[in-house]
Amino acid sequence: MSTRSNTPLAPHAAYPAPSAVLELLKPVTWFPPMWAFACGVVSSGVPVLPNAYTAIVGVVLAGPLVVATSQAINDWYDRDVDAINEPQRPIPSGRIPGRWGFYIACVWTVLSTLVAATLGTWVLIAAVLGLLLAWIYSAPPLRLKQNGWWGNAACGFSYESLAWITGAAAMLGGALPPLPVLAIAILYGAGAHGIMTLNDFKAIRGDREMGILSLPVQLGADRAAWVASAFMAAPQIVVIALLLGWGRFVGAGVVALLLIAQLAMMRRFLRAPVERALWYSGFGVPLYVLGMMASAFALRAFAAG
């Protein structure tokens, strides 16, 4: 895949319009980390209302700043591919002229870091790690997105685990969250590897032509579907076991019921993964993220107890 910095663009103006910048930052992608951050807020056991400012700033950090940065970085380094597949995107269409896509990514990186620094040491560390993953996911020479194993792991860890840990740390005054919170956050981030794989089924042909080794390209659709399902189900089983071990039976029961419903949907998905990946993303993944919040409330009770 080409990532030449001298790609001919078609600037229509000297500066990008605000609407084009907003499109570049892709607000539709902000929800998953904002939800994970909210799970971190809940799991901290700290009352939300007296700390509303911290919670609000943290949600902005998770979505409109860190994830928006990752979207700008991705669009800049995918501009050659987008010029072929999605020429209407802000950069190849010229609505983000010249090197403004790169400049916006750099500015958002700095702004995200400055905001994170106001929320404490561990929030800053988590945000910097997330920003680093955003750069190495899209930018050469590492460009983790070229391989589904590494790229999906980076996204899952950044979008779910780091956002969750950041939310808890922010509410704890910048301190490192307790081990139960860290464990559940990391498990749900691992499961998100499977969610990211679901997104790859719609682009198998294009990924194969462009040399992107997504799991459906590497393993074939059927095997990739089994891997995605296993990645999503296994961490939830561990979450249930941990909650049971901690005596949080209600939380464990809720997660178990949600997992049973997911497993029923997985059976249908596995029979026709290419045709039903989008369907499972729409109906199965919401159950997964509801389980995240159920676990967060169980951890809140753990912290309170």
Average pLDDT, the chain: 92
Residue 9 has pLDDT above 60, yes or no: no
What lies within 8 Å, CB to CB, of 164 at 6+ separation is: 36, 37, 39, 40, 43, 181, 184, 185, 188, 189, 292, 296
Which token pair is 180? Answer: 């139960």
The domain locations on the chain are 8-176, 178-305
- CATH topology classification for 8-176: Tetracycline Repressor; domain 2 (1.10.357)
Beta bridge partners, 213, equal 147
What does the pLDDT read at residue 243? 97
Q: What is the pTM of this model?
A: 0.89
Residue 115 has pLDDT above 70, yes or no: yes
pLDDT tens for 170-225 read 999 988 999 999 999 999 999 999 999 998 998 888 788 888 899 999 999 999 99
- CATH topology classification for 178-305: Four Helix Bundle (Hemerythrin (Met), subunit A) (1.20.120)
